[in-house]
Amino acid sequence: MKASAESILEVRDLVKHFPLTQGIIVKRQIGAIKAVDGVSFDLHRGETLGIVGESGCGKSTLAKLLMALERPTSGSVRIHGKDITKAKGAELKRMRRNIQMVMQDPYTSLNPRMTVGDIVGEPFEIHPDVAPKGDRRRRVQELLEVVGLNPDHINRYPHQFSGGQRQRIGIARGLALQPEIIICDEPVSALDVSIQAQVMNLLERLQNEFGLSYIFIAHDLSVVRHISDRVAVMYLGKIVELGTDSEIYDSPTHPYTQALLSAVPVPDPEGRETRQRIILQGDPPSPANPPSGCHFRTRCWKAQDICAQQVPVLERRPGSDHPSACHFAEVRDVVNAQ
Amino acid sequence: MTEVLSEQVGSGSRSGALLEVDNLHVEFHTRAGVAKAVNGVTYSVDAGETLAVLGESGSGKSVTAQTIMGILDMPPGKITGGEIRFRGVDLLKLPEDQRRKIRGEGISMVFQDALSALNPVFPVGWQIAEMFRMHRGTSRAEAKKKAIELMDRVRIPAAKDRVNDFPHQFSGGMRQRIMIAMAIALDPEILIADEPTTALDVTVQAQIMELLAELQRESNMGLILITHDLGVVADVADKIAVMYGGRIVEHAEVHDLYKNPAHPYSKGLLESIPRVDHKGQELYAIKGMPPNLLEMPSGCAFHPRCPYRRETCETDVPPLYTISGTRGSACHYWREVIDEGQR
Ligand SMILES: Nc1ncnc2c1ncn2[C@@H]1O[C@H](COP(=O)(O)OP(=O)(O)OP(=O)(O)O)[C@@H](O)[C@H]1O
Ligand SMILES: Nc1ncnc2c1ncn2[C@@H]1O[C@H](COP(=O)(O)OP(=O)(O)O)[C@@H](O)[C@H]1O
Ligand code: SF4
Ligand code: SF4
Ligand SMILES: [Mg+2]
Ligand SMILES: [Mg+2]
């Protein structure tokens, strides 16, 4: 399916700061963890937007904000023009139908005491108008079939399934309300290589069949490239670069993107002796206390004085046609130039 | 290797590699039945060499490593056959006091989960120093000095100031460095790294892999790298052993295996991974699921998932056929698989 230009999700200046408190009896706020710190992007109909970045950079928090599972500190998340962060009660419930989530861990995200039928059919309990009671069993069996599970296993429990099958159960549940948007938070990272391919192929097939739009969060850059039309690279709560898969992977301009890509081992031993690597020193700084100016400057080999003083905005820069949040953005092909 | 050790574990008399695992069998006796976790594993590694052991979770990689180290839980574990020769001597026949000596000084190991492998209530420097006190009887002050040196060697910034910090005060990557410091403290000849970077980000993974390579260059250790990441293997391995259902199904030099796999499982794995250097079409997916060790399929354990399967595969267990001096495949039809090349 070709992604259209129509935006079904518009995220603007989204911020989530978790208060950092001290004291047990009298809690004093001594700062804030800037988990998401000014994120804007659009998601188009039928498109997959990949989100990559190191652990703790705010990917899951962003996902929760989009689902309205967390209230943002500021900013907006519009689905078909309506802001879900401001929605309440019946309206929020209706909007949530349209945006569903598949979670990272197929081992802990499913309730062990519920049968597969109950798990996949649970959204119908919350939204009874979607499927009348008498029709639910059939609907659940259809969903199981769609994701490649045996519909006769409707009365089994999660522990009777493998990791890959449990992830399918999670996907079937995500599909139940026929949403337009599905947020996948690390949907394949807990799975073995041979099972990863099965689940990724399933996600792609469902997208074509139902015209779904995906936000696909993962730390595996190869997986993200495979499935995404566009990719956003996050660092300490901000998007630092955003572009089509080939803009990001073949002509990245942000030093962080370049370092991240260059760290991915290529599954081919040919030419490995001469392969150039950018090895970043240290770990990302704490989101409670990010560096001034460009958050990446403490690990950046190109940093200048201006980087400590001015926050680089995410915008198109000379010499490249996709946005990058670096004062000295410059194309460097680190993946193929080896 | 210290001189004391060379006396205990013979030297010079061996003909094979530094460490040889030979037809090892390990089972677990559980309430659900007997799980044959390791069913005839054979691999070897020499000084300065890197062997990658590749396989999906549950294929027996860690159990093999634990058996080499002599830290397998017995019961429920039980070694039912095979030898593990270090410098030509079968470790499985040595008394525990001699094995304890070899652990750390001859062969040592880095575990996947550094947080749970470190003791949360002791400072990291103390834990590293303990290696010297226990094995060498080094004095407290001297051991602490050595711990700081080691923390420097694994590139922990400001090691001197951090020697008294506790594990939870370090990031995941730093904790893995501390584990590596403990593992190399006594200059082992063989280092087993069990998924040392699986829980880490790619940028940190690159740092750790570079550190391991440097340490190996400096000391000429033999390295057994256990992983399921085909990218990491391609980057660092000299040779590969691919495990499936507790067996080695293919072993080869790294270039040979990537160019031209000789077992349908290795071939399927190579074809099913997405790549960062090109977008690619629909992924090839190996169908079905990894085997249940309590009910291993008859014949070739891979047969329910294998596109090359014939009738014989359901009844005859394929031996590890020799393809060349450095290469073997446990597939009856390895010629056909090799001839076809990569799809
Ligand atoms: N409820 C919370 N209270 C306080 N801090 C939080 C909370 N949730 C997340 N954080 C912090 O916000 C930051 C971003 O967390 P988040 O879970 O979004 O990261 P992530 O990118 O999903 O990481 P990973 O790749 O490890 O899943 C982290 O520093 C995290 O510790
Ligand atoms: N202490 C134990 N008791 C019972 N079964 C075990 C035990 N340790 C490992 N196993 C089983 O042995 C098999 C191989 O495990 P392991 O070597 O850890 O696999 P991996 O290749 O992922 O490292 C698995 O099926 C595992 O469940
Ligand atoms: S703005 Fe400066 S510090 Fe930030 S990425 Fe660009 S060059 Fe590096
Ligand atoms: S022996 Fe048969 S089933 Fe096993 S890998 Fe070879 S062809 Fe496939
Ligand atoms: Mg997360
Ligand atoms: Mg393991």
Our CA-based measurement puts residue B315 at a distance from the nearest CA of chain A, in whole angstroms, of 25
Which residue in the set B171, B210, B274 is minimally distant from A223, CB to CB? B274
Which residues in chain B have Cβ-Cβ distances shorter than 8 Å to A164? Answer: 289
CB pairs under 8 A between A and B: 130
Q: Which residues contact A88 (CB under 8 A, 6 or more apart)?
A: none
- Indicate whether residue B332 lines ligand 4 (CB < 6 A): yes
**Across A282-286, B3-7, B110-114, B339-343, least confident range:** B3-7
Q: Which of A221, A188, A189 is nearest to A203 (CA)?
A: A188
Which residue in the set B157, B204, B276 is minimally distant from A266, CB to CB? B276
Provide the pairing of β-strand B89-90 with B321-324.
unpaired
Q: What is the pLDDT of residue A81?
A: 92
Is the CB of A1 inside 8 Å of chain B's CB atoms? no
Query: In whole angstroms, what is the distance from residue B223 CA to residue B303 CA?
Result: 32
| B274 with A55: Cβ contact below 8 A | no
| B273 with A267: Cβ contact below 8 A | yes
What is the mean predicted confidence (pLDDT) over B9-33? 79
Q: What is the pLDDT of residue B270?
A: 92
pLDDT exceeds cutoff 80 at A338: no
Ligand nearest to the CA of B54: 2
* pLDDT higher at B263 or A268: B263
Ligand nearest to the CA of B76: 2
Query: In whole angstroms, what is the distance from residue A55 CA to residue A61 CA?
Result: 12
Closest Cα in chain B to A200: B283
Per this entry, what is the length of chain B?
343
Q: Which residues contact A266 (CB under 8 A, 6 or more apart)?
A: A272, A275, A335, A338, B231, B234, B235, B275, B276, B277
What confidence category does residue A106 fall into, taking pLDDT thresholds of 50, 70 and 90?
Answer: low
CA of B138 to the centre of ligand 3 (A): 48
Ligand 1 atom closest to the Cα of residue A54 is 25
The structural domains of chain A, with segments of one domain joined by +, span 112-178
Query: In whole angstroms, what is the distance from residue A38 CA to residue A236 CA?
Result: 11
Chain B interface mutation, best of A161, A200, A224, A226, highest count of B Cβ atoms under 10 Å = A226
- Indicate whether residue B109 lines ligand 2 (CB < 6 A): no
Determine contact, residues A197/B250, Cβ cutoff 8 Å.
no
- Indicate whether residue A314 lines ligand 3 (CB < 6 A): no
Chain A interface mutation, best of B202, B236, B243, B289, highest count of A Cβ atoms under 10 Å = B202
Residues with CB under 5 Å of ion ligand 5 are A 60
CA of B244 to the centre of ligand 2 (A): 13
Residues with CB under 5 Å of ion ligand 6 are B 62
Which residues in chain A have Cβ-Cβ distances shorter than 8 Å to B287? Answer: 198
Our CA-based measurement puts residue B261 at a distance from the nearest CA of chain A, in whole angstroms, of 13
Q: What is the mean pLDDT of chain B?
A: 88
Q: Name the one residue in this structure whose structure tokens are 């250790």.
A: B221
* pLDDT higher at B57 or B188: B188
Q: Which residues contact B278 (CB under 8 A, 6 or more apart)?
A: none
Q: Which of A231-245, B7-21, B122-136 has the highest mean pLDDT?
A: A231-245
For chain A, what percent of residues have pLDDT higher than 90? 53
Q: For residue range A167-196, what is the model confidence (pLDDT) as tens digits?
A: 889 888 988 888 999 999 988 877 778 788
* pLDDT higher at A112 or B199: A112
Query: In whole angstroms, what is the distance from residue B254 CA to residue B52 CA?
Result: 9
Q: What is the pLDDT of residue A216?
A: 95
CA of B176 to the centre of ligand 3 (A): 29
| DSSP designation for B50 | E
Query: In whole angstroms, what is the distance from residue B126 CA to residue B33 CA?
Result: 42
Which residue in the set B201, B231, B282 is minimally distant from A201, CB to CB? B282
For chain A, what percent of residues have pLDDT higher than 70? 97
What is the mean predicted confidence (pLDDT) over A142-162? 86
pLDDT exceeds cutoff 50 at B168: yes
Per DSSP, the three-state class of B97 is helix
Interface of A with B in 54-83 (CB under 8 A): 54-55
Our CA-based measurement puts residue A60 at a distance from the nearest CA of chain B, in whole angstroms, of 15
pTM, full prediction:
0.87
CA of B263 to the centre of ligand 4 (A): 8
Our CA-based measurement puts residue B228 at a distance from the nearest CA of chain A, in whole angstroms, of 8
Ligand 3 atom closest to the Cα of residue A297 is 3
Q: What is the pLDDT of residue B10?
A: 46
Q: Please give the sequence-ordered ranges of beta strands (E in DSSP) within A47-94, or none if there are none.
A: 48-52, 74-79, 82-83
Our CA-based measurement puts residue A253 at a distance from the nearest CA of chain B, in whole angstroms, of 16
Ligand 1 atom closest to the Cα of residue A16 is 12
What is the mean predicted confidence (pLDDT) over B104-123? 86
- Indicate whether residue A284 lines ligand 1 (CB < 6 A): no
Q: What is the pLDDT of residue A118?
A: 92
pLDDT exceeds cutoff 70 at A337: no
Determine contact, residues B206/A277, Cβ cutoff 8 Å.
yes
CB atoms within 10 A of CB B53: 29
Which residue in the set A194, A200, A261 is minimally distant from B268, CB to CB? A194
What confidence category does residue A326 fall into, taking pLDDT thresholds of 50, 70 and 90?
Answer: very high
- Indicate whether residue A172 lines ligand 3 (CB < 6 A): no
Is the CB of A162 inside 8 Å of chain B's CB atoms? yes
CA of B309 to the centre of ligand 4 (A): 5
| Closest C-alpha to ligand 4, atom 6 | B331
The pair of three-digit structure tokens given for residue A294, joined into one six-digit string: 């460009």
Q: What is the pLDDT of residue B154?
A: 87
Which residues in chain B have Cβ-Cβ distances shorter than 8 Å to A193? Answer: 56, 228, 230, 269, 272-273
Query: In whole angstroms, what is the distance from residue A203 CA to residue A23 CA?
Result: 46
CA of B245 to the centre of ligand 6 (A): 13
CB atoms within 10 A of CB A144: 21
What is the mean predicted confidence (pLDDT) over A67-80? 95
Q: Which residues pair with B342 in a beta bridge?
A: none
Q: Which of A53, A27, A45 is nearest to A296 (CA)?
A: A53
ipTM of the prediction: 0.82
Interface of A with B in 202-241 (CB under 8 A): 204, 219, 221-223, 225-227
Ligand nearest to the CA of B77: 2
Q: Which of B229, B152, B142, B231 is nearest to B184 (CA)?
A: B152
Q: What is the pLDDT of residue B5?
A: 46
Q: Which residues contact A135 (CB under 8 A, 6 or more apart)?
A: none
Our CA-based measurement puts residue B100 at a distance from the nearest CA of chain A, in whole angstroms, of 34
